[in-house]
Amino acid sequence: MHTLNINLPQKNYPIYIEKGLMNNIGEELKKIYKNKKIAVITDANVEKIYGQKIRDNLKNDFEVKMIVLEPGEKSKSIDVLQNVYDELLDFKITRADLIIAFGGGVVGDLTGFVSSTLLRGIPFVQIPTSLLAQIDSSVGGKVAVNLPKGKNLIGSFYHPEAVYIDPELLNTLDKRFLYDGMAEVIKYGCIRDENLFQNLLEYNSNKELFDSIEEIIYRCCKIKKNIVESDEKDTGERMILNFGHTLGHTVEKHFKYEKYTHGEAVAIGMYHITKKSENMGITQKGTLDKIKKILIKYKLPYELPNMNKKEVIETINLDKKNKGNDINIILLKRIGDSFLKKIDRKDMNMYI
Ligand code: NAD
Ligand code: ZN
């Protein structure tokens, strides 16, 4: 078992990472929660595979209510939020009870937001089930739902009581979602961990990757922990986590969130900005080749699709994160070493 503790001024909580952790989740929860009622929020895919398991695990000690959402980003909506509030109130949940987010990032973000707002805050725990959720969205306290005008526009910072990560859950994840999450793993390697990056390049099969998955998740969560601890509210260093994301977001948006997954778009973003920065002599020569090699290996795209450059820049300017005269972009010095560069809005075209 790997354990990490997130230490923030207002909140400390543990992250546990262990294969098979789900088999014992009832016992684990008993250590931190003494009341009876637990609401488990999940989606239909996860419920189908693991619903019985979590019910069986909790039923002896807790009174359990399952709330099952339709899988996919559409569930991070105000309508779904309203239904979830209703179901929780019908269950007569109180602030002394517990909510579990049992699913990927969609379930985690929505459940976190529900928990942070209903009755002015109900404690919750994260049991992330997708790779992206295990290495990224379940750690760091950002919770949100979408509005028709854009993603994650309503949200807050609200941390769980604990995060329980069972890498064995990933065995049932669709390959496309696995590689989607791998893009963020690769991002961690690029920004902070050359050794992780190198290891990823050397695995010869998915079996070798899975043999090391516990360690990989641990390293990613550790990087995120350190960054979040030094900049919880995302005003400085935490922006490093956005490597590849400025362009990535526009690619996702341009294709209406249908053609590319988030990870695929980020992969294109990481490759493309490094192409520019390596050409300018900011990034060590050879870095781009390594990124290309690793993206191909994990079945991720790297070429920028045919998009109008002017439109891309306009979209970047509209992004809620890019207000004011300056834009923060993340560049690599080399693999494992990144920095934040403030550039004038009008110079953005040099990096696209
Ligand atoms: P997701 O929650 O939609 O999960 C992806 C798919 O995998 C879904 O179809 C789901 O049903 C399925 N699935 C999940 N676990 C499974 C398992 N163990 N076995 C079989 N199928 C499984 O998407 P995601 O990629 O996990 O998360 C994306 C969301 O995360 C986005 O809404 C994004 O905004 C958010 N996000 C949040 C943060 C944050 O800091 N809060 C960071 C990154 C991303
Ligand atoms: Zn991301």
Q: What is the CATH number of the domain that holds 52?
A: 3.40.50.1970
* pLDDT per residue as tens digits for the range 118-167: 999 999 999 999 999 999 999 999 999 999 988 999 999 999 999 999 99
Write out the residue range of the structural domain in which residue 307 sits. Answer: 174-351
The reply to whether 25 and 126 lie within a common domain is yes
State the pLDDT at residue 268.
98
Q: Which ligand is nearest to the CA of 131?
A: 1
Residue 130 CA to ligand 1 centre (angstroms):
6
The reply to whether 252 and 142 lie within a common domain is no
State the pLDDT at residue 315.
82
The reply to whether 237 and 269 lie within a common domain is yes
The reply to whether 65 and 87 lie within a common domain is yes
The reply to whether 167 and 178 lie within a common domain is no
Residues of the chain with pLDDT > 70, as a percent, come to 99
Q: How many domains does the chain have?
A: 2
The reply to whether 152 and 188 lie within a common domain is no
Q: Is the CB of 248 under 6 A from ligand 1?
A: no
Residue 271 CA to ligand 2 centre (angstroms):
14
Give CA–CA dist 317/350, Å, rounded. Answer: 15
Residue 280 CA to ligand 1 centre (angstroms):
36
Q: Where a domain ends, among 148, 171, 194?
A: 171
Residue 318 has pLDDT above 80, yes or no: no
* pLDDT per residue as tens digits for the range 87-114: 999 999 999 999 999 999 999 999 999 9
Comparing 134 with 236, the larger pLDDT belongs to 134
Q: Where a domain ends, among 129, 152, 171?
A: 171
Q: Which ligand is nearest to the CA of 51?
A: 1
**Predicted model pTM:** 0.96
